[in-house]
Amino acid sequence: MNYILKKDYDIVVVGGGVAGVASAVTAARLGKKVLLLEKTAALGGLATIGLINWWEPLCNAEGKKLIGGVSEEILRRTIKYCMHRLPECWQKENVWEQDTESRYVTHFSPTVMSLVLQDMLLEAGADLRYDALVTYPDMDGKTVKGIAVETVGGTEYYSCRALIDASGTCLMFDRAGALCKNGENYMSYYSHITDFAPGKEYNMLKVRGWHITGSGMTGKGHPEGFPYYAGVTGDEVNNYIIKGQSMLLDEIKAKDPLAQEIVALPMMPQFRMIRHIVGDYEMTMDDLYKSHADSVGTCPYFGHKGYWFEIPYGTLYSPEYPNMFAAGRIISAHGDAWDATRVIPVACQTAEIAARAAVIAIDNNVPARKVDVSELQSILRKNGHRIHFEDKI
Ligand SMILES: Cc1cc2nc3c(=O)[nH]c(=O)nc-3n(C[C@H](O)[C@H](O)[C@H](O)COP(=O)(O)OP(=O)(O)OC[C@H]3O[C@@H](n4cnc5c(N)ncnc54)[C@H](O)[C@@H]3O)c2cc1C
């Protein structure tokens, strides 16, 4: 194969969603030579170009912050430059416990977040390539040696010592032959709408808010007879987008054109749960309120007050693949535990952890499953992570 460009990296991150950026920023700050590849022309994935600009909680809705680190940093750096709805009690920095049931959540500008993500990435010293479609990992048995990338100029090749799959679709693990599981999705099509009469109350979500076609979280509104696609074939992705756009146009036709306008369509398919790795450990609802010796972080379940999980390290890699790590919504979690771990703050959190683990693996020349978890835990603690729910911070 004739490649138009060949370069070596310590770590290649596939996918520039929030998870990919959190991984790349983390690894670059740790001094690694890092490349992030994104197939579109903006960073943030579903959170930005997918129009899902609602940051689910960093806390358990009972006053305890569970997620800090790069995840919290991305949120705070974004809302510095845009309107947001972060409750006042969570606006103070470095608060881990307080007497409140307010959730640490907010709306944010997807456009501003894309720009901030690029800023963070370049500031950290990572290389970035847009409009770069990663096709196949180049494998030597179960070890990834590099990846091939399609660009407008031709095919490029990047070798790496570790690869972080932050594709949102588990593409690299799947193409490397690793065991993965598919999801099932209600037909949801979120566009952005501008309301011409926002009313008296200041309400961001109305001025530029979601317009949901099909189903929200519950399945109510899912079109009759339409399959619950995983989103793992070209046909599924096409049918999903075509159906969403047709349904939206039907709704627009029935509305007063002088009352509101649809201002943005999602630039990526809005499947919530496409595919995840089957890791050394698979999180399920049996892990609710369960402490794990190899926990690398805690997270809430956004819709349920007080719920919490500890995230075992074994969710971030596939045991037979020594130098591949999973980040974001593709980690090894199933059912409602997948639902809990796929959201924006947790995607950023697992991505930072995967990057820190990849750096330890490279520095000690060990496979993913041999990373010293106590070393990882102690580094994470020093960098704004709650490892165990009961930890005093
Ligand atoms: C309908 C819907 C509603 C949601 N609501 C919320 C909500 O209210 N709050 C919340 O916190 N979360 C919500 N989520 C979940 C959340 O948005 C995502 O799970 C999260 O943003 C995933 O981040 P990620 O970086 O793991 O993946 P993604 O955002 O999917 O990012 C993956 C990136 O990889 C790139 N990529 C993929 N393949 C390749 C390739 N071959 N080569 C190069 N680049 C590639 C993509 O372009 C993309 O930029 C919702 C999701 C959906 C679908």
Per-chain mean pLDDT for the chain: 95
pLDDT at 209: 83
pLDDT at 198: 60
pLDDT at 21: 98
Q: For residue 206, name the pLDDT band (cuts at 50, 70, 90).
A: low
How far apart are the CA of 99 and the centre of ligand 1, in A?
32
Closest ligand 1 atom to Cα of 44: 49
Closest ligand 1 atom to Cα of 342: 19
pLDDT at 205: 61
Does the beta carbon of 75 lie inside 6 Å of ligand 1?
Answer: no
pLDDT > 90: percent of the chain:
90
How far apart are the CA of 197 and the centre of ligand 1, in A?
31
pLDDT at 202: 56
pLDDT at 201 over 70: no
Does the beta carbon of 190 lie inside 6 Å of ligand 1?
Answer: yes
Residue nearest ligand 1's atom 16 by CA: 343
pLDDT at 364: 98
pLDDT at 252 over 70: yes
pLDDT at 200 over 60: no
Residue nearest ligand 1's atom 34 by CA: 15
**Tens of pLDDT, residues 341-373:** 999 999 999 999 999 999 999 999 999 999 999
d(CA 47, CA 16): 11
pLDDT at 56: 98
**Tens of pLDDT, residues 275-286:** 999 999 999 999
pLDDT at 249 over 80: yes
How far apart are the CA of 348 and the centre of ligand 1, in A?
11
pLDDT at 308 over 60: yes
**Tens of pLDDT, residues 137-163:** 999 999 999 999 999 999 999 999 999
How far apart are the CA of 121 and the centre of ligand 1, in A?
18
Mean pLDDT of 81-105: 94
Does the beta carbon of 39 lie inside 6 Å of ligand 1?
Answer: yes
pLDDT at 260: 82
- Asked whether 194 and 385 are in contact (CB, 8 A), the reply is no
Q: For residue 259, name the pLDDT band (cuts at 50, 70, 90).
A: confident
- We find that the CATH architecture of domain 5-182+274-382 is 3-Layer(bba) Sandwich (3.50)
pLDDT > 70: percent of the chain:
97
pLDDT at 204 over 70: no
Q: What 8-state DSSP symbol labels residue 370?
A: G
Structure pTM?
A: 0.96
pLDDT at 199: 55
**Tens of pLDDT, residues 10-43:** 999 999 999 999 999 999 999 999 999 999 999 9
pLDDT at 268: 97
Where does the chain hold its CATH 3.50.50.60 domain(s)?
A: 5-182+274-382
Mean pLDDT of 75-83: 94
pLDDT at 126 over 70: yes
